[in-house]
Structure 1
């Protein structure tokens, strides 16, 4: 594929919408009661149980399937989730613990751009940091063969760190117009020193990624723009699934061959391998996605079996906890280029054998939905040198947990619940609680059929179906209700949904079908009558936990065991008095070298763990400044996104979303011993 070619572009229609802005379920492409403008197949509605849903919010309401994926096919995560039930949990208080070595600030590459800086990568005396949504890419200076002088602008910001104590801004690699440069990687490949950065649309720009030769880091030579499409020809032709964003990248080599692995925000085949041996003419080699966990024998590149496609779609948009999907988020490839560690969100940590890059083969899946707060959220993973230990981060930005109780009547007790993404947060209500008597209002799609609230504290109980969640919510707001509980329909049972759509000014939650019947005190739908009173309910939001670290024993790579979890005080206990209420205390990215893990942990800063015993990790260092003086020079509280490290040296590179580049030096006898 030449730099001007695209994967499957000739098969697509230019009139179809660009899909790189956000990943969408196939069901969102199917119009109400039929196929809308897409016109994929006649009679496709029958492929989905009960026909294509009449609820336009279906695409925004992601199912949590339990045991079965909702379409009769076994959920492959179920037997995996039964493994590794026992694990240790380690909570470290960091600076107040017995620290045996520490971190010191060596130098700053100041970039005071609020929420503006993303990943960091360093090589051969230069450090490179990416840019988030604002400012969005302009394309100014692209292809000039020179860095542009625009420290606070979009693109890849470059610092000379040959003297780590005095980083010097030398310019920026221009961005693509309308896209952001989230990830950047630089590596010495067979063809030279190559830089790659991802493209994700922030203003209608393209997806894919860019390749540059940076043998002279001050004069980047553009080599190729690579468009990344859905791996499925059927999806490209019939749904226009082309030109998706790329979130993360990883270089690797096998002998004389150079490759790059891309995390593509497509429906199928999120993990894509490109041969970049000739970097001006990258070629797609293969693709793999979590859909192959559900149906391993399906050739997803060529299948036209729409029943299988719909079943896989439902599986990919389901998962555990609040953020429910099974799409790839990040990838790391072993140093010998033979194993790929895929952080596949709610599909878990997937290990692929890529000895033959054209034919990735599944080795194992590491997953334990009972770990932490029940959010799998496999965000990034990194192996040690021999692959016997793999460290995985779980990113979770929601530290709150919900409880739902029926508080009166014969069915009093606790029930599963999920909060709407479009409703007012329960946590923001007085005492973090929504409670009151209930009234059944039916589907609530027609305002005229919604009975007025008997009192201002009444909560509407609504059945799922026919119209959007936002429409239901607005109709019960107009009828005077204080909150809403939507329960699933009989066909979809007790699967939970994160309600999506347009924001509405009411608190609301979603419960299973049986819970709705329990509230209303009936055995089945035949007992439902609009206007009937139900039991009182209470929904309470309290602190849960942020995302933490999981450490896996891969002594047997085909059957990994969860050795331990690691938390900071604030990730495990967000309401601890030591935690800044403005902070984000989820773990983010990791690098492993020898027996040490180097971590960017947002508002907890930069941490180092000793995992020589993976069952008992020990925090040995942390860089976590605070206070007014630090906030002034950093442009805000600490918010560390990226982490990188020079091998066999004490230098660590961290990117702060507010403050730019930090160069840290690892101190102590342990680092001296390893750096001899």
Structure 2
């Protein structure tokens, strides 16, 4: 199901979001490029950064104006072999809920959520673990809301589902649980979402979900992994939480005035906050290289694009052009005057990529995978090859349907004499493709962008170097390039609509042009402060290690992840900064000032952060990927 939008000029001020504009003519549905594992947009699934082991893998412990009140190592994360088990969190009343993803020893592992009693914040207690269907796991945006509708009264937990293993039980979409009694949790709806007009038996993967009630009706917004840039904003009605109904889909494909200014032109709906401001329901969407997008959601079945933000060019901190982009998550401040947005960037380097021979020689947009052998560590600090070769998907599955694993069909380095193997994005983890290249004898791999993520050609040079999806010994270097560049490597006219991925490319084993790539340090992910009325950027902030090349490797991920604004104060916000720990910032018309921080002596790896009132005080809750729940108090003025 898909509804068209009216596009307002990008320069329109926020007041236009409140005009109650109706919908335009319907837009026909776009087929989904269904792929259980192809997106893996932004969240690292590494074998671990040793956040809690030894003296390397994290920055030194530090503390200022932040008191650690209590912590809980959940049962599933106990032991050194399970880093990365915990994802996001939700806090409601006397209870917290921790999303759980894979175990380190298994690319999928057990997905679900822990329920934690936080009534005594000094001594949080694990109550239970609620398992997801086998092969499914949660990610971003877990949330509890209180519903009062004609069909349900009580508290519900909403969570996303992503498929991490091809099992009969695996589900996509969203799930809803009755948590009115957290000691007796009841599933209401499992795996509900976009089934592409009923053509699928399993809903599309959803990376995040946010629910709200407007009057007598309730809704949830989701980010569709499988329809990146084309239909990736899914809106469900959950007035009856046991029977969610998809009522709208939209995306940047419906917003011709949306500007894409980030490095790489990668666009997808990643996260969102929906809030009633001055009598109107507004959606604040984090749309990666398009920045932050405002939608009018007074009629959720017909969302209206209003405007989007612009990344200053060159960027403020290190002066790079184009700016990094990577709008990951954001929240309005308590008084709705400002927006604090996070830019998640796991690769602290910028890639310069060239096709060095043939008719299409020249410079093209590209990135470097942050979990492969760094280009900066190669001889001459250069990724270089005189010949490339087309290798297909590189997946273990038989994507081309000829009865043989695509991995087994990758032409070997010995048989081709090529230096670099080229794969298409889609169907399997990026890491599976790199491993396929290694098994075929290559130490250099290129992955080209998929059709869907290229926006049917609108973003022909968009690239995305995704995260590692399974553990293996990495010996190769790898870069990602746009779909257009992938075709041009082989002197082939670019196409953007063929299915399956790779079917529009030359025959397996086709030899392509030479390539060369080098990198320059451009910093880790940062924090943006916007004026909520004009969406003009006021300030850009990073922890000091995030802009220091000394900390490019060996200290874990020093990018920001999420932000939570204070529920009472209008000038405070809290940041989960992965290996950079918990940070407290003060925001206002003069910019951003760090006023508090906490990094444990053994290191931290914070994914989620929430601020909530408990027993008359405001507490900060952080989910550490390697351990569980940490509870803090800000002690500054």
Note whether the superposition's TM-score is higher than 0.5. yes
Question: Structure 1 residue 275: deviation in Å?
Answer: 2.3
3-state SS, counterpart of residue 204 of structure 2: coil
Give the alignment of 1:429-578 within 5 angstroms: 429-430=378-379, 432-434=381-383, 496=461, 498=463, 539-556=517-534, 560-576=535-551
Q: 1:582 corresponds to which residue?
A: 555
User: Can you list the C-alpha shifts for 1:118-147, whole angstroms capped at 9, x where unaligned?
Assistant: 01111111111001133899x9xxxxxxxx
Distance, in Å, in 2 between the alignment partners of 1:153 and 1:478 is 29
User: Aligned-pair distance for 1:420?
Assistant: 6.6
Aligned CA distance change for structure 1 residues 447 and 282 (closer, same or farther; 3 Å): closer
Q: Which has the higher helix share?
A: 1
Kindly state the Cα deviation for residue 208 of structure 1 after the two structures are TM-superposed: 1.5
Distance 2:447 2:180 in 1: 58
Cα distance, 1:509–1:379 mapped onto 2, change above 3 Å:
closer
Two-structure CA RMSD over aligned residues (Å)? 5.2
| Structure 1 match to 2:577 | 601
Aligned to 2:242: 280
Distance in 2 (alpha carbons) for counterparts of 1:214 and 1:480: 52
Gaps of 5+ in 1: 2-11, 26-92, 140-151, 297-314, 518-533, 631-636, 671-676
What is the SS of the residue equivalent to 1:661? strand
Matches of 2:194 and 2:483 in 1, distance apart? Answer: 36
Distance 1:289 1:375, change over 3 A: same
Question: Within the alignment, does 1:342 sit opposite 2:285 as a pair?
Answer: yes
Distance 1:607 1:126 in 2: 23
Q: Take 2:517 and 2:367, find their aligned partners in 1: how far apart are those partners? A: 10
Matched, 1:643 2:609: yes
Q: CA deviation at 1:288?
A: 2.0
Q: In the superposition, relative to structure 1, how do residues 263 and 416 fare at CA in structure 2: closer, same or farther (>3 Å)? A: closer
Contact 2:581 2:606 in 1 (8 A): yes
Q: CA deviation at 1:543?
A: 2.5
How far, CA to CA, are the matches of 2:391 and 2:35 in structure 1?
34
| 3-state SS of paired residue (1:551) | strand
Following TM superposition, by how much is the alpha carbon of 1:21 offset from its aligned partner in structure 2, in angstroms? 1.2
Match 2:73 to one of 87, 92, 110: 110
1:120-175, Cα deviation, whole Å (9 max, x unpaired): 111111111001133899x9xxxxxxxxxxxx964211111101011011112232
Aligned pair in 2 of structure 1 residues 256, 484: CA closer, same or farther (>3 Å)? closer
Shift in Å, 1:426: 1.6
Distance (whole Å) between structure 2 residues aligned to residue 441 and residue 361 of structure 1 = 45
3-state SS of the aligned residue for 1:266?
Answer: helix
Matched with 1:46 is none
2:628 matched residue in structure 1: 660
Larger Rg: 1
Aligned position for 1:625: 600
Distance 1:157 1:592 in 2: 24
Distance, in Å, in 1 between the alignment partners of 2:110 and 2:484 is: 50
Q: Which residue of structure 1 aligns with residue 226 of structure 2?
A: 266
CA distance in 2 between counterparts of 1:600 and 1:583 reads: 14
TM normalised by structure 2 equals 0.65
Retained in 2: the 8 A contact 1:19–1:241? Answer: no
Q: Structure 1 residues 652, 512: closer, same or farther in 2, change over 3 A?
A: closer
Instruction: Give the SS at the match of 1:21.
Output: coil
- Secondary structure class of the residue paired with 1:326: coil
Length-normalised TM-score, structure 1: 0.62
2:115 counterpart of 1:158: yes
Q: Cα distance, 1:623 vs. partner?
A: 1.0
Over 3 Å counting, the alpha-carbon distance change for 1:511 and 1:606 in structure 2 is closer
Taking a change above 3 Å as real, the CA distance of residues 109 and 18 of structure 1, as seen in their structure-2 partners, is: farther
Number of aligned residues: 500
Q: 1:325 to 1:403 in 2, by over 3 A?
A: closer
**Pick aligned residue for 1:132 from 77, 88, 101:** 101
User: How much has 1:598 moved relative to structure 2?
Assistant: 0.8
Local SS of the residue matching 2:342:
strand
